[in-house]
Amino acid sequence: MKKSILSNCERNFINTAIQENTRLDGRDLFEARPVDIYFGSNWGSCVVSLGKTKAIAQVSCDIQQPKASRPNEGTIYVNVELNSIAAQQLENNRQSEAVILINRQLEKCIKDSRCIDLESLCIVADKKVWNLRLDINILNHDGNLIDCASIAALAALMHFHRPDVTSTGTNIIIHKFNEKDPLPLTLYFLPVCVSFITFESGITVMDPTFMEERVGVAQLTLGVNSYNELCSLHFDYLTKTLTVEDVISVASSYAAKYANKLIQQIKEVVTRDISLRFSKDSTYSCHIKEFIVPNKITSMHNDNISIKLNNWKICEESKSEVLENNDNEECNHIVKVGEGFAELIPDEAKVIGEGGHNAWCLSSEEEESDIEIIPVEKASNTETYKEESGDDSEEEVVEIIDSVDLV
C-alpha cells in the first residue's frame, strides 16, 4: 500500500473538532453511517454501502473431501480483495497488511465463532462435503472496511441457497433449482463487526471515516451477535501514544445496541428479497442496479469535503445575491436539513456528455446576446407614410427600412 500523506493542518483540524464533539460529516461520536444492501441475480450475491465505503460479496460452493480431523463437517474459506479500484493509494496484485488483517478478523468473527452449522454441509461422512467460499471485494475505500466487509459477508451467507443433494450409495445427484428448491445455510447466530477509533484526546468515535482512521491513535473492533455475545475482539495501537483509556468498557454498550439494530435490518432485507424470489413474480429483477450512481465517473474524486454545519444562519436576501452573482458559474450549494442545521454539498462529477459548459459551439442564447442588430437609414430606400387618426392633432409616422446591416 502506498503511503497516504496527511498534512498537519488537516490533523490539527480533526483533533480540534473531535475535542469539541464535532465530526466533519455532522454525526454524533457514537453514530454510524447509513447502511444500504442490494442483492444480485445469483444466490449469495450482495453489495453493501456503509456511507461511501462499498463492498461486494459472493458465496459459492462445490463438493470436496472433508478434512481428516473433521470428517463429518463442511469447510468455509474467506477471501478479501483490496485493489486500486477502491482507492488510489492501493496497489494491485499485492497482498497488503490491511487485507491480511481484514481476513483474520472475518475468520475470527464468522469461521472461528462457528456461527455456521458445518455438520449440515456433510453429504457422505469422510467422503463428500460442501465447501463454501466467501469472496469479498472492496469497491470504494472511505474508512471502516472491516465493518462494511462483515455486513456484506453476513448478508451474503444469509441470502445464499445451496442445491439439494440426493445420495444413493456411491452416487451423488445434485438437483437443479428447477427440480428442487435450494436449501439455505443454517446459522446459529448472526455476528457483525463494530469498529471504534480513539484520538489523542482520549475521545472515542464509532464507524470512523478514512481521514479519521489516519488521525486516530488506537483502533478497536468488536464482533457482536444479536444475543449481545462477544464473538471476536481486536485492539491495535496505530501510533505511539501515551493515551490510556478503558475503551472496551465504554464502547461495548454502544456496539451491542448498534449490532442489534444492524442485524434486524439485514434480516428484513434478506427476508424480503427471498420472498420475492420464491413468489416467482414476473416483475422481479435484481436490485443491484439501484446501487449504481449515474453521476459518478470516478471513485473518491471530490474537490471539497462535505461538511454539515450545525449553526447555520443565512438570510434570503444574501442567498439570492449569491445565486445572482454565480448564475454562470458552478459552485457549491447549501441544503437546509432542519431548523438550525444545514449541509454543504459540493458539485459532483458530471457524466461525460451531460451537463457542464459547452465550449465548442455557441448556444442559441449566446448567439442572441452576442449579435447586435443596428438599423441604418438610407434616404433612397426609405418611405414615410402618415396616417391620420380621429384626432387631427395626433399623427403616427411609420418608417419602413428595407435593409439592415448585421454587425
Question: pLDDT tens, 197-217?
Answer: 999 888 899 999 998 998 988
**CA angle at residue 264 from 259 to 269, to 5 degrees?**
125
Q: Grid cell 483490496 — which residue? A: 82
- Residue 87 — pLDDT band, cuts 50, 70, 90? confident
**Whether pLDDT at 235 is above 60:** yes
Question: pLDDT tens, 128-159?
Answer: 999 999 999 999 888 899 999 999 999 999 99
CA torsion through residues 120, 126, 129, 134, sign: positive
* Mean pLDDT value of segment 81-94: 73
- Residue 6 — pLDDT band, cuts 50, 70, 90? confident
**Whether pLDDT at 266 is above 80:** yes
**Whether pLDDT at 99 is above 60:** yes
Higher pLDDT pick, 174 / 294: 174
Alpha-carbon gap, residue 270 to 283, rounded angstroms: 18
What is the residue-averaged pLDDT of the chain?
77
- Residue 238 — pLDDT band, cuts 50, 70, 90? confident
Going along 199-319, which residue ranges are E strands? 204-206, 218-224, 230-237, 307-309
Higher pLDDT pick, 178 / 300: 178
* Mean pLDDT value of segment 336-362: 53
Higher pLDDT pick, 187 / 329: 187
Going along 74-164, which residue ranges are E strands? 75-81, 122-124, 128-140, 161-162
Question: pLDDT tens, 379-389?
Answer: 544 444 444 44
Q: Are 112 and 106 in contact (CB under 8 A)?
A: no
For the chain, helix (H) and strand (E) counts, in that order, are: 7, 21
Report pLDDT for 311: 57
- Residue 353 — pLDDT band, cuts 50, 70, 90? very low
Q: Are 195 and 219 in contact (CB under 8 A)?
A: yes
**Whether pLDDT at 10 is above 70:** yes
Report pLDDT for 334: 66
Higher pLDDT pick, 367 / 205: 205
Alpha-carbon gap, residue 78 to 153, rounded angstroms: 9
Q: Are 402 and 378 in contact (CB under 8 A)?
A: yes
Alpha-carbon gap, residue 130 to 160, rounded angstroms: 13
Report pLDDT for 110: 92
Q: Collect all residues with Cβ–Cβ distance below 8 Å to 333 and sequence separation of at least 6.
A: 345
Instruction: Give the Å distances, CA to CA, from 290 to 105, 122, 269, 283, 293.
Output: 30, 37, 14, 15, 8
Q: SS3 sequence, 337-397?
A: EECCEEEEECCCCCCCCCCCCCCCCCCHHHHHHHCCEECCCCCCCEEEEEEECCCCCCEEE
Alpha-carbon gap, residue 295 to 227, rounded angstroms: 41
Q: Are 103 and 81 in contact (CB under 8 A)?
A: no
Higher pLDDT pick, 332 / 5: 5
